[in-house]
Amino acid sequence: MVTLWITSVLSILLGVVVIEVHSLFRGTSYERDMASSAGWAQGAGHRLAAELHRHRGDTDDRARRSGLGFWLVYPPLDVGDEAAAKQVYTPSVITGSYAAPWDCTPIAVDDRPTDTGLIWIEVEVSAEDRKLPLEQVLKQTDGEMLLQQVPNMTAPLAAAICHEREITRTPYSCVEDVLNRVDLMTPERYRGTADIPGFDQLLTTYSDGRVYLNGASRDVLGALPGLYEDSQKGYETVDNIVARLAKAGGDSSQFFLHIEELQQVQGVDPETLKRVTPWLKTVPEYYRIAARANVRGVLSTYEGVLHVDAKGAKSLFVWLAGG
């Protein structure tokens, strides 16, 4: 009887030990995957920033959207944890030391990874200055009217955004700052809908005040001076610009390398060109880099904005979130 009791107790204790060891192993494995995921997301983001820095002088290619889109990134075999990955690139300034063996391959939207059971690193690079420059708009005497041209914007909301900026004399640090400071900006309106893009897709504070023409959407172009005032003519002109940019996907000669080339588009007369030119540029300077790293279901993100000046003389990387 005593022997049976001792055996039962030992079995229970052994079961507890096995459970604790298993839990410890699972915890350690998760922590290891989390460290790898976070480190790889940051390293991949910096890898694409370095790639853009490397080609900063190729202004014609930059005008033609070179480097934009989705990328798959493969880390060096010896960079398997967060601390090691963070040593690969400096997060504030990207220098010429981009040659660390992080392979990167452009992929189509339909080829983006989705299986969370695998290990993958994806980076999206977009032109941040394809959006309407919020602070530049607010500096205009008709800034409130300009804001009203943005989809999903109401006259009271545009007035509230302008009023908040005027009374505080504090620039909006990012578009999300509008959500935090203006009561009329609701999360639902900020995020947008399936049919209407969110405000973070239409407005930006990372800009020199001009819109990257070859990356601009119909919604952004339609809000620019010289295009929005005459509704019917403006709509038709914007449609013609968008149609030309759509052709550029298969014919790179359709991209605009100089703003003056807009005169080749039906509806852009000398007066329209004069009004819209101060708001446009053909070479992007602000790149949003959003990295996602998945390690067996453990997902980490890292996001930043790379500023490459128009002449490609220098680059500056600003970390935003993640890592």
pLDDT reading at 144 higher than 50: yes
Q: What is the pLDDT of residue 28?
A: 67
User: Cβ-count burial of 12 within 10 angstroms (0-12 exposed, 13-18 middle, 19+ buried)?
Assistant: exposed
Mean pLDDT of 227-244: 83
When pLDDT is cut at 50, 70 and 90, the band that residue 110 belongs to is very high
Whether residues 179 and 227 fall in one domain = yes
- Local structure of 93: helix, strand or coil: coil
Q: What is the pLDDT of residue 25?
A: 41
What predicted TM-score, i.e. pTM, was given to this entire model?
0.83
Query: Going by C-beta distance under 8 Å and a sequence separation of 6 or more, which residues neighbour residue 9?
Result: none
Whether residues 77 and 198 fall in one domain = no
- Local structure of 255: helix, strand or coil: coil
Joined together, the tokens standing for residue 52 give 């853009």
**Residue 22 belongs to some domain of the structure:** no
Please tell me which residue, 235 or 237, carries the higher pLDDT value: 237
- For the ranges 10-14, 105-109, 135-139, 162-166, the lowest mean pLDDT is seen at 10-14
Q: What is the pLDDT of residue 14?
A: 46
Could you tell me what percent of the chain has a pLDDT over 70? 81
Whether residues 98 and 205 fall in one domain = no
Whether residues 136 and 274 fall in one domain = yes
Amino acid identity of 51? E
Please tell me which residue, 168 or 196, carries the higher pLDDT value: 168
pLDDT reading at 61 higher than 50: yes
Domain that holds residue 58: 30-109+117-129+285-322
- Alpha-carbon gap, residue 305 to 110, rounded angstroms: 25
Whether residues 187 and 92 fall in one domain = no
- Alpha-carbon gap, residue 110 to 121, rounded angstroms: 16
Q: What is the pLDDT of residue 153?
A: 92
CB 322 within 8 A of CB 41: yes
Percent helix, strand and coil across the chain, each rounded to 5? 45, 20, 35
Total number of domains constituting the chain: 2
Whether residues 64 and 206 fall in one domain = no
Whether residues 219 and 318 fall in one domain = no
CA 135 vs. chain centroid, Å, equals: 19
Whether residues 51 and 156 fall in one domain = no
When pLDDT is cut at 50, 70 and 90, the band that residue 230 belongs to is low
pLDDT reading at 112 higher than 90: yes
- Provide the sign of the torsion angle of the four alpha carbons 169, 174, 176, 180, taken in this order: negative
Q: What is the pLDDT of residue 302?
A: 92
Mean pLDDT of 62-85: 76
Joined together, the tokens standing for residue 247 give 């052709």
- DSSP assigned state of 71: E
Please tell me which residue, 6 or 45, carries the higher pLDDT value: 45
The DSSP result for 96-135, as a single string, is S---SS-EEEEE-GGG----TTSEEEEEEEEEGGGSEEHH
Whether residues 123 and 158 fall in one domain = no
Judging by DSSP bridges, how do beta strands 103-107 and 69-74 pair with one another?
antiparallel
CB 310 within 8 A of CB 59: yes
Q: Which residue's entry shows tokens 């602000």?
A: 286
Q: Which helix (H) or strand (E) holds 173?
A: none
**Residue 214 belongs to some domain of the structure:** yes
- For the ranges 86-90, 97-101, 222-226, 299-303, the lowest mean pLDDT is seen at 86-90
Please tell me which residue, 22 or 243, carries the higher pLDDT value: 243
Mean pLDDT of 237-249: 92
Q: What is the pLDDT of residue 77?
A: 60
CB 258 within 8 A of CB 310: no
Q: What is the pLDDT of residue 2?
A: 46
- Alpha-carbon gap, residue 120 to 106, rounded angstroms: 14
Q: Of the candidates 24, 7, 32, which has an alpha carbon nearest to the alpha carbon of residue 298?
A: 32
Query: Going by C-beta distance under 8 Å and a sequence separation of 6 or more, which residues neighbour residue 284?
Result: 62, 63, 68, 127, 128, 129, 130, 212, 214, 215
**Residue 171 belongs to some domain of the structure:** yes
